[in-house]
Amino acid sequence: MKRYRNGEIWDFEQQMPVSHDARDVILGLDGGTTSTVCICMPILPFSDPLPDSVPVLARAVAGCSNHNSVGEAAARETLEQVMAEALAKSGSNRSAVRAVCLAVSGVNHASDQQRILDWLRDIFPNDVRLYVQNDAVAALACGTMGKLHGCVLIAGTGTIAYGFTEDGRDARAAGAGPTLGDWGSGYGIAAQALTAVIRAHDGRGPHTALTSSILEKLGLSSPDELIGWTYADPSWARIAALVPEVVSCAEAGDEVANKILFDSVEELGISVKAVVQRLDLCGPDGKDSFPLVMVGGVLEANKRWDIGKEVIRYISKDYPGAIPIIPKVEPAVGAALLAWNCLMKESLKEAFKC
């Protein structure tokens, strides 16, 4: 294990008293475009069913850890910082860690996984089990309590649909970032709203209440000022923060805002359908049941315009067996449960060998 390159992030371990009965723990990490959360969970007995309330020893939060958004060096620094903080808060250290599951946005290829695994191996002891997945996998696991089966739809700052069959096949749709068309995401909705304001201002589009709503929200006096505001800091989360203005205008009856939201519902639904079709989750007759985990601020219910409900309605027309699940635990806990399930399966394999 090496020291942190920019400081003494692990120095807290030197101050901890030596303990011979320290409990083993798992680290579960959910790293997204907006924030990164790490939880420390005790190892639960493999012989017992999971409790309704999953015990969490500590929780730590940091900023973005998507290397496509902030760069690899900054992403790694955030990941290491948040893991160290969670362990320190729990009163544990790296010698107590049995498994780590990092579920991070921007992990889109086997090479991404291997690069992070190599980096993690420099941080943790060799006997620690390491798992690296896209953050969508943790989101699915938080709805299925660590089991990888079904489909998850994430719609927050970004969006992705990801699915697994019970025999381990997987497929995804969207999740390539705003430049490559993640419409239906918070960024996509807000970017279309900003575009609608500019189009209305210069006569290329219809009048919309989005103009006054967004300008008031940002403290601007003219749509012309949106250009400077947008390009001063075009970060995804900053743009996506305007989604509530779009929803409010749609609820008030604005046609432009309503069209943006209906188009987003269709885009999100198409992503889920693409995954379901590729994995045949719905069975040969299209009616088999499968869990559909719904995660992200865009899908949360509003007063009247409930994007999540509309997405479910859109999907259910073709796949009536879809079972919507709103997770009871956060994705970081899902990542920890995923690691726990992997450990349990490995333990059972070892037992059968004996």
How high is the pLDDT of residue 21? Answer: 60
> 202 in helix, strand or coil?
helix
Find, among 51, 18, 56, 11, the residue nearest to 37 by Cα. 56
> 40 in helix, strand or coil?
strand
Do both 313 and 199 map to the same domain?
yes
How high is the pLDDT of residue 107? Answer: 83
How high is the pLDDT of residue 69? Answer: 74
- 104 in a domain, yes or no? yes
In tens, the pLDDT along 72-110 reads 888 888 999 999 999 999 999 999 999 999 999 888 788
Do both 133 and 187 map to the same domain?
no
How high is the pLDDT of residue 287? Answer: 84
The three-point CA angle 93-97-103 to 5° equals 110
Q: What is the pTM of this model?
A: 0.82
Return the percentage of the chain with pLDDT > 70, whole number.
93
CA atoms within 13 A on the CB side of 145: 8
In tens, the pLDDT along 37-77 reads 999 999 988 766 777 788 999 999 998 888 777 888 888 88
How high is the pLDDT of residue 343? Answer: 87
Treating both helix axes as pointing N-terminal to C-terminal, what angle do 186-202 and 255-279 enclose, rounded to 10 degrees? 150
Do both 206 and 127 map to the same domain?
no
Work out whether strand 58-62 and strand 150-155 pair parallel, antiparallel, or are unpaired.
unpaired
How high is the pLDDT of residue 48? Answer: 67
Do both 204 and 122 map to the same domain?
no
**CATH number assigned to the domain comprising residue 265:** 3.30.420.40
Residue range(s) defining the domain that contains residue 131: 23-145+329-353
How high is the pLDDT of residue 200? Answer: 98
How high is the pLDDT of residue 1? Answer: 43
How high is the pLDDT of residue 243? Answer: 96
How high is the pLDDT of residue 68? Answer: 75
CA atoms within 13 A on the CB side of 102: 27
Inter-residue contact 282 to 323 (CB < 8 Å): no
Do both 184 and 320 map to the same domain?
yes
Do both 235 and 276 map to the same domain?
yes
Burial per residue of 235-269, b for 16 or more beta-carbon CB atoms within 10 angstroms, e otherwise: ebbbbbbbbebbbbbbeeebebbbebbeebbebbb
Helices (H), 60-148: 67-70, 72-90, 110-121, 135-144
Find, among 194, 192, 193, 196, the residue nearest to 183 by Cα. 192
Do both 186 and 319 map to the same domain?
yes
- 121 in a domain, yes or no? yes
Residues 6+ apart with CB under 8 A from 295: 139, 142, 143, 152, 153, 154, 155, 156, 327, 331
In tens, the pLDDT along 214-242 reads 999 999 999 999 999 999 998 888 999 99
The low-confidence residues of the chain, meaning pLDDT below 70, are 1-7, 17-22, 47-48, 301-303, 348-354
Measure the CA–CA gap between 133 and 113, rounded to whole angstroms: 7
